[in-house]
Chain A
């Protein structure tokens, strides 16, 4: 699958749960598998938001996060997923709020570098049919 925008991707290795920062080589995402990007330091969060067309931030093991991912995957989107550890939660939320210019809650979906919303917004825009065009516009989805 040809990608117009390069993505930094990281395949989840262990279930150990310690947060690390990894920058990996660009690579074509495998269709169907969501790409896990773990963060360990504040700067990377901004980077992740900027560099990914679609990225979902959520607590580790959060089921709602899982719902968002499954929905996006079902649409053919290959979302980047950032699972945040409990210790880092506040930091990440803070930084995301700075990027957004307002409050942010988990799970948070950023599309095209901007906060899109939570599961609520994803669901309602999906039902009304607005979601897919937005994703296409951001380059997260091709026909």
Chain B
């Protein structure tokens, strides 16, 4: 129901309007007769007009263009019930109150309709001859209008209810979106040192472990960023190999520190680590058993390390292959674990209420996930160490810079993604 539709009335409304017009005409006719009772008739007719008019006006109450209201009021100015309407219209802003107002008025009007019809009958007897036909018509119109008004009110109620539900849903969705955006933003903004704690566990100890990890990880990323800048400066400044070696060692050690942190929090909540919620969204996209793939790491590093000697190329090639084999073995192990847990959970008769044994057994099996996270991190560590053995100090420094810069860019990508302008969902 758009604002423009107000001008286009429903067939019922049209009838009602028609009736009012007829009555207005009738009103003029009556006024030519007896003055006293005429006035009462006029009033009574008008009060019924008021009823019908009200339901049309009340429909317009929820419109975004309230200027229709005064103009409608203007048409029915002579009616004495304007005062009551004025009060009702003052509470126009809130759709909730308008609904209740309509209900209130509905009740009022329903009560009035009976008395009004009686009043209508009384004066009609005075005008038996000329007035009987028009009054019959009027009665019929009255009934029709009552019917129309009632149906219209019911429809309106239903529509408003629907609108209310949709509104609530919209608010809910907006809140969810806001929350999700904030999480993405916060994760991306970990560099600034601000981050929200995430805990999906009920266990308070686990929550403490997770909260502690998040704080530590935030600091870790800050230190990482500082180290990258130092490496860049050092490489450009052409410092000695010995000094560079120190930077390389601390860089490597920093990654090993992360693996230790992850091992600790994996004991608290392994699903937290594996889910990768502690990382930014783009990093999560590449996640494999709670971290980066060692083979990916090599793909990022190697192009930055040119020139490599023949021997180095061979060794790097071997490392790539070993890495891939180890990754495959771990992946297959994970698949086996999935199969095992799945068949355990699904096992047993389903028509029995108790599934505790299946779930308990599955929990035992899931303990293996901790081992997987540890083994995956162990593989990452071994790969990094082997690379540092193959490369010269300067090459290792360049490698660490490349790796750190890569993750830094992924984090920037996540932030950018989270803040991209949303596309309109409506056509």
Contact = CB atoms under 8 A, between A and B. Distances in A.
Nearest to B339: A63
Contacts of A124: 378, 382
Interface string A63-87: 1101110110011000000000000
B375 A67 contact: yes
Nearest to A72: B329
A67 B319 contact: no
Contacts of B323: 127
B383 A127 contact: yes
Contacts of A75: 325
A128 B382 contact: yes
Contact of B368 (A63, A68, A127, A129): A63
A129 B325 CA distance: 12
Nearest to B330: A67
Contact of B336 (A66, A71, A120, A129): A66
B326 A127 contact: yes
A68 B375 CA distance: 11
B333 interface: yes
B318 A67 contact: no
B378 A120 contact: yes
Nearest to A132: B322
B256 to A, nearest CB: 14
Contact of B328 (A62, A68, A74, A119): A74
A63 B338 CA distance: 10
A70 B329 contact: yes
Interface in B329-347: 329-330, 332-334, 336-337, 340
Nearest to B337: A63
A8 to B, nearest CB: 26
Contacts of A128: 382, 386, 389
B333 A123 contact: no
B250 interface: no
A94 interface: no
Nearest to A68: B329
Contacts of A32: none
Contact of B319 (A62, A63, A64, A127): A127
Contacts of B382: 123-124, 127-128
Interface residues of B, number: 26
Nearest to A124: B382
A128 B375 CA distance: 16
Contacts of A74: 325, 328-329
B371 interface: yes
B379 interface: yes
Contacts of A88: none
A61 interface: yes
A132 to B, nearest CB: 9
Interface string A112-124: 0000000110011
Report, as a range, how many residues of chain A touch the other chain: 10 to 19
Interface string B359-375: 00000010010011001
A13 to B, nearest CB: 20
Interface in B358-417: 365, 368, 371-372, 375, 378-379, 382-383, 386, 389
Contacts of B386: 127-128
Interface in B293-342: 318-319, 322-323, 325-326, 328-330, 332-334, 336-337, 340
Given A123-B379, A127-B323, A127-B386, A61 B329 contact: no
Contact of B333 (A70, A127, A129): A70
Contacts of B330: 67
Contacts of B329: 67-68, 70-71, 74
A63 B336 contact: yes
Given A64-B371, A126-B325, A70 B340 contact: no
B375 A119 contact: yes
B326 A126 contact: yes
Nearest to B383: A127
Contact of A71 (B325, B372, B378): B325
Contacts of B378: 120, 123-124
A83 to B, nearest CB: 13
A75 B386 CA distance: 19
The 6 closest A-B pairs by CB, nearest first: A67-B333, A71-B329, A70-B329, A127-B382, A63-B337, A70-B332
Interface of A: 61-64, 66-68, 70-71, 74-75, 119-120, 123-124, 126-129
Given A63-B334, A64-B371, A123-B382, 19 more contacts: A61-B365, A63-B333, A64-B368, A67-B332, A67-B333, A71-B325, A71-B326, A75-B325, A120-B375, A120-B378, A123-B326, A123-B375, A124-B382, A127-B323, A127-B326, A127-B379, A128-B382, A129-B318, A129-B319
11 contacts: A63-B333, A63-B340, A63-B368, A66-B332, A67-B330, A67-B332, A120-B375, A123-B375, A123-B379, A124-B378, A126-B326
